[in-house]
Structure 1
Amino acid sequence: MEDKTANEEIEQVNESSENVDLALLTEEAQEESTTEASESDSLSLEMNQILRIRDQIRKVVIGQDKIVDQVLAAFLAAGHVLIEGVPGLGKTLLVKAIAQTFAGDFARVQFTPDLMPADVMGHAMFNMKEQEFVIRKGPVFCNLLLADEINRAPAKTQSALLEVMQESQVTIEGESHSVKPPFMVLATQNPLEQEGTYPLPEAQLDRFLIKVSVDYPEESDELKLVRLVTQGLSREKLDVSLVEKVITNEDAELLRKKTSEVTVDEQVLEYAVAIVRQTRNWSGISVGAGTRGALALIRIARAMALVAGRDFVMPSDIKEMALPVLRHRITLSPEMEIEGFSHDQVLQDMLEKVEAPRL
């Protein structure tokens, strides 16, 4: 009888322990479910903001959806963009439309051969009334800076942007002044007309996260654009009044923070590094991309994943953004230049030889 009672007590203790374990597991499952739901809601909110920004830009920028996504991704990745294309393709309109979507300060500088660094950065001036020197800040103290036709200015003026693009600060008369976040430089240049221009230094080019090539629109898009602009107007007008403000500066910073949290698998990371390292060994490339190229590739791939509605990076994101990230970071061999190959053609051929991971 005593043995039977002892066995019953042991069984009761075991049942009690199992019930406690089950309750703990249930609580953990509920907590995980709540966390996943919270993360899903957060992603949905951010995706909604990104979609609204993109829709607003596409109201005035027609037929350049891929370019819009790339520039928007660069903004989310806290990077700067070099936009290259022949005149009349809407490069300036694109930048103005982006600036209109968030409540930040926008400034435009038309780069010319006589533009001085102080005209962009600012300078110290003597206040006669107060009998002291005061700092007069230049147009670079904004959230979104359009450097129009950047290759029109000499190298000294171009390089004045190096510090603010890398460090988000400007040094005037030995004193550092920070620019307000979010900060982004979008520079445009014409690839055809080289007379009277100054090619950007390699150090300057490397500060741009991506280089976007704007091509001619499709016939249907061009027809739609011409119809839209000429209705009721006697002259061409870059009208961005249709674009509505969607986010605040604080929202923009939160979106950038979310972008930096997008998951990157180890195999995807190795794939990005393999692509960049291949540029240093490829026969058609004399100077390959540096480590900053690999960092840029991961940053922009994270942003493109978020634009696509995902919180993880896929190998296709890396491959898609390899051209915009690397085309301005490599130097072709003399043989390739003589034969007329472009940077994109050489890079595309190289990408086909780098095996992508299968996740």
Structure 2
Amino acid sequence: MTDVTSATPPSTDAGRVADPIAGQSVPRLTAEQLRGAIERIRENVRQVITGKDEQIELALVVLLAEGHLLVEDVPGVGKTVLAKTLAASMSATVNRIQFTPDLLPSDVTGVAVFDQADRRFEFQPGPVFANVLIGDEINRASPKTQSALLECMEERQVSIDGDTHRLPDPFTVFATQNPSEMEGTYALPEAQRDRFLARMSMGYPDRDAELGMVDAREGGDPLTRVRPVVTAETVRAMINACSEVYVAPPIKSYVVDLARATRDHADVRVGVSPRATLHLIRAARASAAISGRDYVVPSDVAALVAPVFAHRLMLNTRGARGGIGTGEAARVIEQVQQRVVAPTGV
């Protein structure tokens, strides 16, 4: 197994760059080091998740875009396993929350406890204080508890009794949810959905992948054999490297036009937010880096419009005529992409 620090260059001033988010310097990765780290994570996840390369790639995009991922599908198709495997690939702090109807906001963020000896309140951090937070079946908790993550996901901090507590860096949420029509689920609030950079479905594996999964588990759970291949510091450096990928003005205009087209669509009551525009550009940068480029091309954007935009759309009565599901939103996104002409020559 490759050493977890192998993607990190020597810790010298010349090989480090200031990171305003982390509040310290982090390694500056070369293009070769970035590609190597990405490949190690990818191959680590493939040890456990077979036949789902598209989903693995999107999860990597979200991680390197410093976003949060929502995985929606029926139980038993590997939603939580994907999140756990990706988390296990990093030498970082990982916490998991099983969302249930009786879960309280303080069970997520933490609570101030009175210390009898010191005669003062002391903050006890909740499970959200980790580099990777796995939220299992997030839509089984009440909207009040779901909303406890709003500040965490956007501002990467927790405010309790007037005090602000910074979350670890990097910080990402991998949440799973069951389809909204299933029993015992609550719809995610619009503000909560908007904070997820992307949403995806796992889908059932094909026959060969499912057969391979059966064979792989005869020797035990392959997840137990996964070892970290990158450090948290390296992940922070990978995020920084992706943020430096060049986005040409025509590409930026293309993204803005796509966002505005969702707001003008006849079947849409509320289109995507400006936050979605920023998320799509960040995701396109990460996708370009994963592809080995230091610049974004239109195809990077086109491939990510649906996973970044679809879950944010609020359809009107006409738009939801086929049901308020992912299929109707995907139909609108497809129409938007057909109407907005992608730039050429960039």
Q: 1:127 offset after TM fit, Å?
A: 2.5
Structure 1 residue corresponding to 2:250, chosen from 249, 254, 267: 267
| Unaligned ranges ≥5, structure 2 | 1-28
Match of 1:86 in 2: 74
Q: Looking at CA atoms only, which structure, 1 or 2, has the larger radius of gyration?
A: 1
Are 1:63 and 1:218, in contact at CA under 8 Å, matched by a contact in 2? yes
Kept in 2: contact 1:151–1:199 (CA 8 A): yes
**CA shift for structure 1 position 195:** 2.7
Instruction: Tell me, in whole angstroms, the C-alpha distance in 2 between the residues paired with 1:354 and 1:97.
Output: 37
Q: Does 1:316 align with 2:305?
A: no
Report Cα offsets for 1:156-204 as digits up to 9, x if no partner.
Answer: 1111101111111111221111111010011110015433221111111
How many pairs are equivalent?
Answer: 314
- Please give the per-residue CA displacement for 1:144-163, whole angstroms capped at 9, x wherever unaligned: 00111111111111111011
The correspondence of residues 1-359 of structure 1 with structure 2, limited to 5 A, is: 42-191=30-179, 193-229=181-217, 231-233=218-220, 237=221, 239-340=222-323, 342-359=328-345
> The residue matched to 1:335 in structure 2 has which SS?
coil
What is the rounded CA distance, in whole Å, between the counterparts of 1:182 and 1:211 in structure 2?
20
| Partner SS state of residue 281, structure 2 | helix
**Counterpart of 2:145 in 1: which secondary structure?**
helix
Question: What is the SS of the residue equivalent to 1:258?
Answer: helix
Q: Distance in 1 between matches of 2:51 and 2:180?
A: 22
Superposed CA offset, 1:96-145 (max 9, x none): 11111111000000111110001011101123344432211110010000
**Residue type at the aligned position of 2:141:** A
| TM score, norm. by length of structure 2 | 0.87
SS class of match (1:286):
strand
Corresponding letter in the other structure for 1:117: P
Displacement of 1:258 after TM fit?
Answer: 0.5
Q: Deviations over 1:184-237 (max 9, x none)?
A: 0111100154332211111111111111122112221111112212x145xxx5
List, as ranges, runs of 4+ consecutive aligned residues in structure 1 with deviation greater than 6 Å.
none
CA distance in 2, matches of 1:268, 1:132: 54
Q: Distance in 1 between matches of 2:251 and 2:197?
A: 19
Equivalence for 2:5: none
Change (3 A) 1:277 1:310: same
**Cα 1:339–1:100 shift into 2, 3 Å:** closer
Higher helix share: 1
Provide the rounded CA distance (Å) in 2 between the counterparts of 1:244 and 1:342.
40
- 8 A contact 1:60–1:242 mirrored in 2: no
Aligned-partner Cα distance in 1 for 2:104–2:160: 14
* Secondary structure of residue in 2 paired with 1:206: helix
- Secondary structure at 1:342's aligned position in 2? helix
CA contact (8 A) 1:57 1:98 kept: yes
RMSD across aligned positions (CA): 1.4
Q: Which shifted more, 207-216 or 104-113?
A: 207-216
Structure 1, unaligned runs of 5 or more? 1-40
SS of the aligned residue for 1:303 comes to helix
Q: Which moved more, 1:311-320 or 1:212-221?
A: 212-221
Distance (Å, rounded) in 2 between the aligned partners of 1:329 and 1:74: 16
Q: Do the aligned residues in 2 keep the contact of 1:86 with 1:192 (CA within 8 Å)?
A: no
CA contact (8 A) 2:322 2:328 kept: no
Q: Distance between the aligned counterparts of 2:57 and 2:219, measured in 1?
A: 30
SS in structure 2 of the partner of residue 118 of structure 1:
helix
Inter-partner Cα distance in structure 2 for 1:141 and 1:192 = 28
Aligned to 2:7: none
Deviates more, 1:122-131 or 1:275-284: 122-131
